[in-house]
Amino acid sequence: MVTEPGPAVPRHVAIVMDGNGRWANKRLMPRVVGHKFGVDALVNIIHASAARGIEYLTVFAFSSENWKRPQDEVSGLMNLVMVAVSKYLARMAEDGVRIRIIGDRSQVSEKVRAAWDHAETLTAGNRRITVSVAFNYGGRWDVVQACRRAMEAGLSPAELDEQVLSRYMSLSYAPDPDLFIRTGGEVRISNFLLWQTAYTELYFTDCLWPDFDERALDAALADYARRDRRFGRVKTDVDAGGQPRALPVAD
Ligand code: FPP
């Protein structure tokens, strides 16, 4: 039976890297230590994703709402950007990783902005895997900034449709995510890629992000490979002549 299996490996994986704080608390360490180990897990998953043929990886590193966290945690996370860029960027660049940042840069410090600019510039020519880091990002912000830019470009209401607006979204250079992973046991999207995940397969795991390793990634990919993606259509089967025929299956 043919049921739109789709490619076994997703082209684009989006991840909410949740659970760093609890991971650190369990070890009686400050939350920011959990984020530090979270960066190590991220670097590992970037290289593992590239090795598995994933073309786009988009990760939620700092949400528009994360400013409400304790000041020392916010500054710890900002500091980690500089540490991560100086510690890991060269190897990523060598490994064919292209880094893109999505989110509102106007609110972050000059130092953080410079680190992200450097990461983007150094890796601009790479295409093995594109890693988009959502930083000071919110899904609703993304829709609003896209509308605003479309209006600034002089589009009339009649010219605006889904395809046109997509060109103004932060991830306009990437296909929509095939697979969304959230670690840490919570089962929600938390204002991540609201526009882009309309038909994305969702996968939730209790694993805390610093523990998310290649085996955990493979478990998510195996689960994805079993999904039947229909994009709002009905299931199809083939008739005796090998032609697709519709099956009456509810979405
Ligand atoms: C959620 O865990 C995680 C974050 C808010 C930050 C995620 C950031 C990283 C993994 C580091 C990436 C950083 C760079 C510089 C690329 P949580 O703190 O909400 O954990 P909890 O739910 O256990 O409290």
pLDDT, one tens digit for every residue, the chain (251 residues) = 344 445 689 999 999 999 999 999 999 999 999 999 999 999 999 999 999 999 999 999 999 999 999 999 999 999 999 999 999 999 999 999 999 999 999 999 999 999 999 999 999 999 999 999 999 999 999 999 999 999 999 999 999 999 999 999 999 999 999 999 999 999 999 999 999 999 999 999 999 999 999 999 999 999 999 998 888 877 655 455 444 555 444 44
Q: What is the pLDDT of residue 229?
A: 85
CA distance linking residue 38 with residue 29, whole number of Å:
14
Q: Work out which ligand 1 atom sits closest to the CA atom of 63.
A: 5
Q: What is the pLDDT of residue 237?
A: 55
Q: What is the pLDDT of residue 234?
A: 74
CA distance linking residue 201 with residue 222, whole number of Å:
12
Active-site option among 20, 40, 66, 223: 66
Q: Is the Cβ atom of 61 under 6 angstroms away from ligand 1?
A: yes
Does residue 136 carry a catalytic annotation?
no
What pTM was estimated for this model as a whole? Answer: 0.91
Please identify which residue in the block is written with the tokens 């739109």. Answer: 4
Q: What is the pLDDT of residue 2?
A: 41
CA distance linking residue 136 with residue 202, whole number of Å:
23
Nearest-10 Cα torsion for 172, 38, 81, 167:
0
Does residue 18 carry a catalytic annotation?
yes
In angstroms, the Cα distances linking 44 to 15, 88, 234 are 14, 11, 38
Query: What's the distance, CA 121 to chain centroid?
Result: 20
* Å from CA of 205 to ligand 1 middle: 15
Question: Would you say 7 and 179 are in contact if contact means Cβ atoms under 8 Å apart?
Answer: no
Domain map (residue ranges) of the chain: 12-247
Q: Work out which ligand 1 atom sits closest to the CA atom of 60.
A: 7
CATH number of 12-247: 3.40.1180.10
Q: Is the Cβ atom of 123 under 6 angstroms away from ligand 1?
A: no
CA distance linking residue 37 with residue 210, whole number of Å:
6
Q: What is the pLDDT of residue 1?
A: 39
With b for 16 or more beta-carbon neighbours within 10 A and e for fewer, the 110-148 pattern comes to eebbebbeebeebbeebeebbbbbbbbbbbebbbebbee
Residue 132, beta-bridge partner list: 58, 100
